[in-house]
Structure 1
Amino acid sequence: MPPKAGDAVPDVTLQEGTPGDEVKLKDLFAGKKGILFGVPGAFTPGCSKTHLPGYVSKTDALKEAGAEVVACVTVNDAFVAQAWAESAGAVGKVHVLADPHLELTKALDVVLDAEGKLGTKRCKRFSAVIVDNTFKAFNVEPDGGGLTCSLVEPTMAQLKAA
């Protein structure tokens, strides 16, 4: 079952930039308020045209709403995640974190069976508001891949309320 308000952020290590650049999720959100969102994969249409660009374009509004950190997790290797972050203008605005072994995806129970379309299991689209390593809100797209509750606007409204 995916996390609910009050649950702790799982203790997992992701990658940012290269496979050797590890990011502990608990360190990223320790003492901070922010947003974590997940996508099925870098360079896929919905992720590249709508999901990540929405968060990148609203960076200033997210900061005004209280976000100290905004992070995106994708089930890709660190090199692909970094290339995607660069191509989307996300560097310095949104941490694009690689979850190549689905560690976080499994811990959050948001595994998407995308073997038919993408060749492997991926991450369902989700968004979460986190305050000091505690989930204040967690949203999973009903079909795992849609673009409704995990987009920037509804998540920013939850951030403001947290």
Structure 2
Amino acid sequence: MQLITKSALKLPVTYSFRALARSYATVGDKIPSTSVHENSPGNEVDLSKETAKGKSILVGVPGAFSPGCSQKHIPGYIKNSDAFKNKGYDQIFVLAVNDPFVTKAWGEELTDKNGKSSIRFLADSTGAFAKDLDLLFDATKVFGNERSKRYALVVEDGKITETFIEPDNTSVDKSDATKVLEKI
């Protein structure tokens, strides 16, 4: 029996590279039916059903009561809620990886400070909704657990038609309400 060494084979070496596209929520994706909660753990909301007809905006934030979310990001949506409505967007949902009691209190505080609006504040308590959209990131150093990336998704008849996802997860730039309004 004769042994063949690697050097004796002299096989050509080929390299291939494959660019992996980000798998974040993309245009054409359906909104997942993962339950989130409004005001209390007993009030489940299925956003796939809520957004099945018409136009909606989903706004994801890293955390309720955090500075970027409370001082700039969500106040912009509250102040511009009529402008979104004038463009045919009937519903705006704000989602945070917090419990429903926190998101309820946060929504009440923001609307008291920034004017009443029809924006609904929802708790993605476990981050499952954000995970289903591949919009969850490790924020343990700041928030103690995984949190939602900052984003805005434009949804028509249950499908994403535009995405505004912050590349660094937390800045308020691409997903700013005025920038979203300019593009829709």
TM-score tier by shorter-chain length is: over 0.9
2:53 alignment counterpart: 31
Preserved CA contact (<8 Å) 1:39 1:126: yes
Question: Are 2:140 and 1:118 aligned?
Answer: no
Number of equivalent positions: 159
Partner of 1:19: 41
Q: Does the 8 Å contact 1:73/1:97 carry over to 2?
A: yes
Aligned with residue 103 of structure 2, among 75, 81, 91: 81
Larger radius of gyration: 2
CA distance in structure 2 between the aligned counterparts of 1:27 and 1:10, rounded to whole angstroms:
9
Deviations 1:99-148 (A, max 9, x none): 01111110011112110111111111011100010100112101001111
> Could you tell me which of 79, 90, 94 is aligned with 1:68?
90
Superposed CA RMSD? 1.2
In structure 2, C-alpha distance between the alignment counterparts of 1:81 and 1:115, rounded to whole Å: 19
Between the two proteins, what is the percent identity of the paired residues? 36
Question: Within 1, Cα distance between the matches of 2:79 and 2:117?
Answer: 12
1:139 aligns with 2:161: no
Q: Per-residue displacement from partner, 1:40-70 (whole Å, max 9, x unpaired)?
A: 0000000000011000011111100111110
Tell me how far 1:158 sits from its aligned partner. Answer: 3.2
Decide whether aligned partners of structure 1 residues 158 and 12 sit closer, same or farther in structure 2, where only a CA change above 3 A counts: farther
Match of 1:107 in 2: 132
Aligned-pair CA distance for 1:91: 6.4
**Alpha-carbon offset, residue 157 of structure 1:** 2.7
TM-score using structure 2 length: 0.83
Aligned partners of 1:68 and 1:96: how far apart in 2? Answer: 15
Deviating above 6 A after TM superposition, structure 1's stretches of 4 or more consecutive aligned residues are: none
Give the TM-score normalised by structure 1. 0.94
Structure 2 SS opposite 1:68: strand
TM-superposed deviation, 1:92: 4.6
Structure 2 unaligned segments of length 5 or more: list them.
1-22
Q: Secondary structure at the match of 1:5?
A: coil
Q: Is the 8 A contact 2:30 2:48 kept in 1?
A: no
> Is 2:30 aligned against 1:8?
yes
Q: Structure 1 residues 56, 133: closer, same or farther in 2, change over 3 A?
A: same
The one-letter code of the counterpart of 1:119 is G
CA distance in 2, matches of 1:29, 1:158: 20
Q: 1:50 aligns with which of 72, 75, 85?
A: 72
